[in-house]
């Protein structure tokens, strides 16, 4: 028999579930990267809209830009690719500037 999980309407409950699961997913992403010697990039948004990002090597923007280059090489189209590419490059530039001024 399959048990279906009932989705709660309680936003506090959603936030607490997200926090518990977020930490587990981040640990698993780090383990995957270490055990398989691969680059892992992860973006998550909480129910309240807070961004959590993880990059196993460098910045998450670099990993996603590599993904876009890989798609270009294979000729696979992506929706809104140009917007995504510009946004990632802008984020990378802003992060580099923050590093230079010492946050």
Q: Tell me: the pLDDT tens digits for 2-36?
A: 666 666 667 888 888 888 999 999 999 999 999 99
Based on the fold, state whether residues 31 and 67 are members of the same structural domain.
no
**Total of domains in the chain:** 2
**Quick check: is 1 in a domain?**
no
The answer to whether 57 touches 33, Cβ cutoff 8 Å, is: yes
b (16+ CB within 10 A) / e for 47-70? eeeeeebbbbeebbbbbbbeeeee
Based on the fold, state whether residues 51 and 17 are members of the same structural domain.
yes
pTM for the structure as a whole: 0.65
Based on the fold, state whether residues 72 and 101 are members of the same structural domain.
yes
The answer to whether 71 touches 78, Cβ cutoff 8 Å, is: yes
Based on the fold, state whether residues 13 and 47 are members of the same structural domain.
yes
Residue 81's domain comprises 58-103
**Quick check: is 4 in a domain?**
no
Based on the fold, state whether residues 52 and 62 are members of the same structural domain.
no
How high is the pLDDT of residue 5? 66
How high is the pLDDT of residue 3? 63
**Quick check: is 36 in a domain?**
yes
Based on the fold, state whether residues 66 and 82 are members of the same structural domain.
yes
Based on the fold, state whether residues 85 and 63 are members of the same structural domain.
yes
**Based on the number of CB atoms within 10 Å of its own CB, is 44 exposed (0-12), middle (13-18) or buried (19 or more)?**
middle
């Amino acid at each position: 028999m399959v048990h279906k999980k009932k989705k709660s309407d309680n936003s506090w409950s959603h936030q607490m579930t997200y926090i518990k699961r977020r930490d587990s997913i981040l640990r698993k992403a780090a383990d995957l990267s270490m055990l398989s010697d691969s680059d892992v990039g992860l973006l998550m948004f909480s129910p309240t809209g807070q961004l959590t990002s993880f990059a196993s090597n460098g910045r998450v923007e670099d990993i996603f830009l590599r993904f876009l280059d890989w798609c270009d090489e294979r000729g696979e189209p992506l929706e809104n690719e140009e917007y995504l590419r510009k946004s990632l490059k802008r984020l990378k530039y802003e992060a580099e500037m923050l590093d230079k001024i010492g946050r």
